[in-house]
A and B are shown apart, each in its own frame.
Chain A
Amino acid sequence: MHLARKVSSPSAASPVREPAAMEIVSVIIPLLHDESGIAEVHRGYKAALSGDTRQLEFLYVLDRRWHQALTALSALKAAGEPLTLVVLSRWDGEGAALRSGFERARGDTVLILPASPQVDPRDVPKVLEELAHCDMAVANRAVLRSSWFDAVQAWLFRGLVRLLFGHIIHDPVCRVRAYRRQVLQEIAGYSVQQHFSPLLAAERGFRVAEVEVRPSQPTACAPSRQSRFGVLLSRLRLTLEALSLYVVLKFIHKPLRFFGTAGLPILLIGLIYTGYLAISRLFFGTPLADRPALILGALLIVLGIQVIALGLIGEIIIFVAGKRIKDYTVDKIL
């Protein structure tokens, strides 16, 4: 499980831009496993995006051990298709793959697509067009839940996300996302599951929009359905990811706020409870020594102080050793 943490951002050294008048759209497709039908997928995406007047470049990111996909894509490339193969010597997860792809992307607009189609190809350009009105667009497949169990889980997860972040992602698993270059540059550094990139972008003040799309038809190479237990596990993992992202976002700049919110109530409850016990012992004579009540009070006080102390240590670390972390992000300067 990835713990959300800030990884160094992609190198700022972008290749020299050709003085082309045409805008470039970079389509990044990370392969999650060896796909033999990738050539078909490529043709499908290319056809779907053919209506766009801008110049397209396709970047496929894959592990070098996936021979079938490699041969298929190399053949395509040799046939003159505008695609770039980013071959990783080691697969570090989807986030790292996307970062590698993004480092080599030349476009001002970046579209990310899954290697196994999730969205009806006719709707893919819709997501891209939405970028005219916002900084980031994600696809939302209006999927009917297959069972009530599934629906309840999804509802709970969405509620949690809304509680923590104030935004909702309706379809976190869908990997069709379009970004302006600037957005990816800022958020690609965070090593968090890609499902949460809309939340990250929104937290940094970018405008994020959701586009209703139709799901793709199940094809022959669709992965087998996971068992219910498997789905539940992955949902749990997602929940933990959401929590850890929340902690990172809130904690990095203001540790005491985070620890203090936990520690102060504990300490206060401990103090009040111990005070009550002391008063009842001193003034009313209720025996204190035959029950563990005092232990509980002392424990709460100790715990509260420790948590607050950790928050203060965090603040000290930031103050002394932290480089000047910019708490703000600038949109425009006139």
Chain B
Amino acid sequence: MVDLSIIIPTFDEEDNVEPLYQALMDTVPALGRSFEIIFVDDGSRDRTFERLAAIAAQDRRVRIVKLRRNYGQAPAMAAGIDHAQGDVLVTMDADLQNDPADIGCLLAKLEEGYDLVVGWRHERQDKWLSRRLPSVIANRLIAAITGVDVKDNGCTLKAVRAELIRKVPLYGEMHRFIPAIASTVGCDLAEIKVRHHPRRHGYSKYGLSRIYRVLLDIMVIKTLITFARRPLFCFFSVAAAAFLLSVISAALAIVFVEQSVVVFATVAVLTGSLASFLGFAGVITSLVSQYGGDRLAPLQPTLDDNLLGSAR
């Protein structure tokens, strides 16, 4: 068991892993904690794994988890988390855009009593139009929808307590939404400014198709959060809207009975069927939370034992 695990998902970063290791070795030992570094090789096609293996051969604190093919950043992070033994986990990028010197700041903030500390790249070194503007829009959108105000969802540099992150599922692109999902479990969130360096080697692996995937993931997260707090609400609210439309359409059918009763009546029936479908779907899905498995606990806020102690 170590105090600190640093998890770095890596994909095709053969020129960056050596400098990154050196930069880590310059700053992390000075923090005075026992630590381990876990590189997750996410199916790199270049010599990344060879370079990582060489580093691991010389330093017992470095471990490499090699995935069989490329799975994406969230599964790679999940792999690192599953193999980590630290009490505190720090995730960061492998492309040298995060500065290891910020790890100390994150840890200090965490020790003030927070459960999750995320970095905020407040002076981003990227192009304005293609990277920073969409990023600002996306972050505002995510904050508005999920209700968790994080200014920089895309910053991989985060520090989190191990027991909290193990309750958070990580698949798809969910690594962007760790604060939002963690909020369903109940966590104290802090955000601090971190440095950002321009990319030195390699190329950025993300493109526009990511926007579509992130959009879908936002829908999922929103549904999950709403479902966690009020299980029936998310279905019944849309069902109610559909029902309202149905009533309006039926009213129109009655009012315009000579010309257009068929059209409006059919629309009324259609939206009515949607309302009942969503209503029943909501009932069935709330069954899931009744019979739910080991994930049930995270969907309810953790109770404060001190408060309940006297009531028991």
Binding site for B on A (CB under 8 A): 204-206, 253-254, 256-257, 260, 264, 287-292, 294-295, 298-299, 302, 305-306, 308-310, 312-313, 315-317, 319-334
Contacts and interface: CB of A to CB of B under 8 A. Distances in A.
A99 to B, nearest CB: 22
Contacts of B68: 204-206, 329-331
B213 A257 contact: yes
B260 interface: yes
B83 interface: yes
A197 B293 CA distance: 31
Given A294-B267, A302-B273, A309-B277, A334 B78 contact: no
A260 B217 CA distance: 10
Given A289-B263, A298-B271, A320-B296, A205 B169 contact: no
A59 B259 CA distance: 76
A324 B169 contact: yes
17 contacts: A260-B216, A295-B263, A298-B266, A298-B267, A302-B271, A302-B274, A306-B277, A309-B281, A312-B220, A313-B284, A320-B288, A320-B299, A321-B291, A322-B295, A329-B69, A330-B65, A334-B52
B259 A205 contact: no
Contacts of B79: 328, 330
A288 B169 CA distance: 49
Interface string B49-86: 00011001100000111111101001110110011000
Given A256-B219, A257-B216, A320-B295, A334 B53 contact: yes
B263 A292 contact: yes
A327 B78 contact: yes
A328 B43 CA distance: 11
Given A289-B260, A305-B274, A315 B220 contact: yes
Given A205-B67, A328-B76, 16 more contacts: A205-B69, A253-B171, A290-B259, A298-B266, A302-B274, A305-B242, A305-B274, A309-B238, A312-B223, A313-B281, A320-B288, A321-B293, A322-B295, A330-B67, A332-B64, A333-B63
B292 A321 contact: yes
Interface in B279-300: 281, 284-285, 288-289, 291-296, 299
Q: Which 10 A-B pairs have the closest CB atoms?
A: A289-B260, A205-B68, A205-B69, A327-B75, A334-B64, A328-B75, A320-B292, A332-B66, A331-B68, A302-B274
A297 to B, nearest CB: 9
A332 B41 CA distance: 10
Nearest to A315: B220
A322 B293 contact: yes
Contacts of B259: 287, 289-290
B172 A257 contact: yes
B270 A260 contact: no
B177 interface: no
Contact of A288 (B260, B274, B299): B260
B278 interface: yes
A223 B94 CA distance: 58
B224 interface: yes
B295 A321 contact: yes
Interface centre among A256, A313, A320, A323 (most CB of B within 10 A): A320
A181 B76 CA distance: 25
B302 to A, nearest CB: 16
Interface centre among A253, A302, A313, A316 (most CB of B within 10 A): A316
